[in-house]
Structure 1
Amino acid sequence: MEEFGDRIEPYRAELRVHCYRMLGSLTEAEDVLQETMIAAWRGRDGFEERSSLRTWLYRIATNQCLNARRAASRRVPETPRPPFTPPPPSRLAEVTWLEPFPDTLLEAVPDRAPGPEARYGMREAIELAFVVGLQQLPPRQTAVLILKDVLGYSTGEVASLLDTTATAVKGALQRARATLGEPRPVTPPSSDERALTRRFADAFEVRDIDALVSLLTDDAWLAMPPAPHEYHGIPAVLEFLEVSGAWRGERAMRLEPVRVNRQYAFASYLDGARAGLMVLTLRGGRIAGMTRFLYGLDPAFARASGSVAGAPVARASGFVEE
């Protein structure tokens, strides 16, 4: 029995990423991952090795995630009450359970090449925008797209994993692709991007609103899960920054670079206390989006990133110039 546990343990890290893509929440992914490992252990006598152990585990994990997404008791966080009155949002987000995924957990994933059917690379398949898009698909379409376009399983293999037909897989995949659109090209981090994020951090720390606005695209947006508020366009973002900055007053703000979802990000500290997390979306040499996770980091993120209460999150070497 210990031998079987040793056999499945090497797949834990990549199964966690799979569950996160399916669920959009690291907390929920950790729970479902644990359920997956328990289910695999209990079902070990039924593993007949007609498929690889990895594929068998992905079958279990995917079905556990589908059950979690369909469950009426799925945990959607309550809308928090901010310490200031925010301006009216441009719109309300649907995916309020979104959580960041620390790159330290990605580094633990074995460097396995995806199957020949894959259309997404590792970086773009973990970025927040892609994860949000997956949450807006019906659960089965989410599973089909991840198994086919991210992991690279063939149509027949996906049909087998989901106990359905190849025709059903093709139909679900076509609808999912139509909703998400084509994968966008992703380039490695550049010195220009690092300089841009450093200028952002410097301006944010001293509340230089004009400097911040100069770094944004014209259609820039700001979101702040688990609150549903979203602000789109420079006037709306500017109004929010001015209101939140007025609440902050003269208290000292510090931003520490972290590694999140393969994106540039900062943990924020207000008068030395951890205040939240800001993940930046870049486009064309400017900042196109800011996802601001409120009220400190989730405990699962804090554990994974190596942070402790009152201490900075581990720096992200290569993300922001020291």
Structure 2
Amino acid sequence: MVEELTDFATSAEAHRRELRVHCYRLLGSYDEAEDLVQETLLRAWRGRETFDGRASLRAWLYRIATNACLDHLAAHPREVPVLDLPASASPDLAPRPDVAVPWVQPVPDEVLGRETVELAFLAAIQHLSPRRRAALVLRDVLGWSARETAAALETTPASVNSAVLRGRAELKEHLPARRGDWAAAGSDEERAVVARYMAALAAHDEAELAALLRADVRCSHAPGAGGHTGTEPTWYAGRDLVREAWAPALRGDDAVTFHLVPTRANGLPAFATSIRVDGALHPFGLNTLRIAGGRVAEVTTFSAEVFPLFGLG
């Protein structure tokens, strides 16, 4: 008996990483996903006698995880705020910056493993209702059938198909129209642009930075990024406006000394930025870069609160 219980616990624990990614897709927040995958494993342990083996243990755990997330969202309802942020005019970029969804958190690529969770997709899917979101993820990401999805959500295949069709249409409104134009993750083009960008920023080379930015580049800052404590993200676009906004940090006696640590987040090149003040480093934020057409198309700065997820102080 003890051996059977140990085997069950070991088998369930083996799925922790992929369940965490699943919860992350549904919730947008990695911190919440950590809590919900733990809740999933607890529910599985308590209900282990109900597992009859007709479905795989993996499918059974995904069903529990999905409903744990739905229960959490029902108990803690939230809506994407309506912000006075202009939509991007570029079909390469999402209509709204990722930080327009305040609870979205980037995570290191190694946490995701072989899974792909684009920030643009993660932010876009948060606009869907929880059940529509769950149906879409189960059908389109995990590849479950309508019948399997209906069983997990305790509804009918017809209802699932309707939810998925509506979810796809709604998702299309929030995703970039030309995601295929983004540089391939980890490509030589991407690495070269990122290396030049980080070197130019560290050297305060405004001419090089300008050469690396697309004319329609977009910059956005999550609440709390760079020490700004406002309740809404900030957003600005266009190479000239970006150069004007960055100039005080790059010129003269007040120029900022940057300390940059390269990393990757959600399949994007990223770097943690700290600034040196009075001889001490102060966390500024985590920057992700979107590369398109050999230039930087988007710079997104998330709060330094995510630094611990990346093993940074």
Query: Structure 1 length normalisation: TM-score?
Result: 0.77
Number of equivalent positions = 279
Give unpaired runs (5+ residues) of structure 2. 88-95, 224-231
Report how far residue 71 of structure 1 moved: 2.7
The answer as to whether partners of 1:259 and 1:265 remain within 8 angstroms in 2 is yes
Report how far residue 3 of structure 1 moved: 2.2
Change (3 A) 1:73 1:174: closer
Moved more, 62-71 or 51-60: 62-71
Report how far residue 133 of structure 1 moved: 0.5
The answer as to whether partners of 1:97 and 1:225 remain within 8 angstroms in 2 is no
Aligned match for 1:197, one of 182, 194, 197: 194
SS for the counterpart of 1:290 is: strand
Give per-residue Cα distances to partners, 1:289-309, cap 9 Å, x unaligned.
11101235353x1xxx344x3
The answer as to whether partners of 1:90 and 1:236 remain within 8 angstroms in 2 is no
1:40 to 2:31 alignment: no
The answer as to whether partners of 1:203 and 1:209 remain within 8 angstroms in 2 is yes
Structure 1 counterpart of 2:266, which letter? N
Q: Percent identity?
A: 41
Give per-residue Cα distances to partners, 1:39-76, cap 9 Å, x unaligned.
11111111112211111111111111122223336699
SS for the counterpart of 1:297 is: helix
Moved more, 130-139 or 234-243: 234-243
For 1:5-24, list aligned pairs within 5 A. Answer: 5-24=9-28
The answer as to whether partners of 2:15 and 2:58 remain within 8 angstroms in 1 is yes
SS for the counterpart of 1:164 is: coil
The separation in 2 between residues aligned to 1:74 and 1:248, in whole angstroms, is 45
In structure 2, the partner of 1:171 is 162
Structure 1 counterpart of 2:283, which letter? R
Structure 2 counterpart of 1:288, which letter? A
The answer as to whether partners of 1:144 and 1:172 remain within 8 angstroms in 2 is yes
The answer as to whether partners of 2:106 and 2:265 remain within 8 angstroms in 1 is yes
In structure 2, the partner of 1:284 is 293
In structure 1, the partner of 2:31 is 27
Aligned match for 2:73, one of 55, 69, 76: 69
Change (3 A) 1:215 1:13: same
Change (3 A) 1:44 1:223: same
Give unpaired runs (5+ residues) of structure 1. 77-87, 110-121, 310-322
The separation in 1 between residues aligned to 2:120 and 2:148, in whole angstroms, is 27
In structure 1, the partner of 2:275 is 270
In structure 1, the partner of 2:90 is none
Which is higher, the Rg of structure 1 or of structure 2? Answer: 2
Structure 2 counterpart of 1:192, which letter? E
The separation in 2 between residues aligned to 1:242 and 1:67, in whole angstroms, is 47
Moved more, 224-233 or 284-293: 224-233
Structure 2 counterpart of 1:156, which letter? R
Aligned match for 1:98, one of 97, 100, 104: 104
The answer as to whether partners of 1:275 and 1:296 remain within 8 angstroms in 2 is no
Aligned match for 1:237, one of 232, 238, 242: 242
Report how far residue 179 of structure 1 moved: 2.2
SS for the counterpart of 2:103 is: coil
In structure 1, the partner of 2:229 is none
The answer as to whether partners of 2:132 and 2:163 remain within 8 angstroms in 1 is yes
1:162 to 2:153 alignment: yes
Structure 1 counterpart of 2:284, which letter? A
Tell me how large the CA RMSD over aligned residues is.
2.9
Structure 1 counterpart of 2:103, which letter? W
The answer as to whether partners of 1:204 and 1:212 remain within 8 angstroms in 2 is yes
The answer as to whether partners of 1:213 and 1:234 remain within 8 angstroms in 2 is yes
In structure 1, the partner of 2:127 is 136
The answer as to whether partners of 2:146 and 2:157 remain within 8 angstroms in 1 is yes
The answer as to whether partners of 1:90 and 1:229 remain within 8 angstroms in 2 is no
1:254 to 2:255 alignment: no
For 1:198-237, list aligned pairs within 5 A. Answer: 198-226=195-223, 227-237=232-242
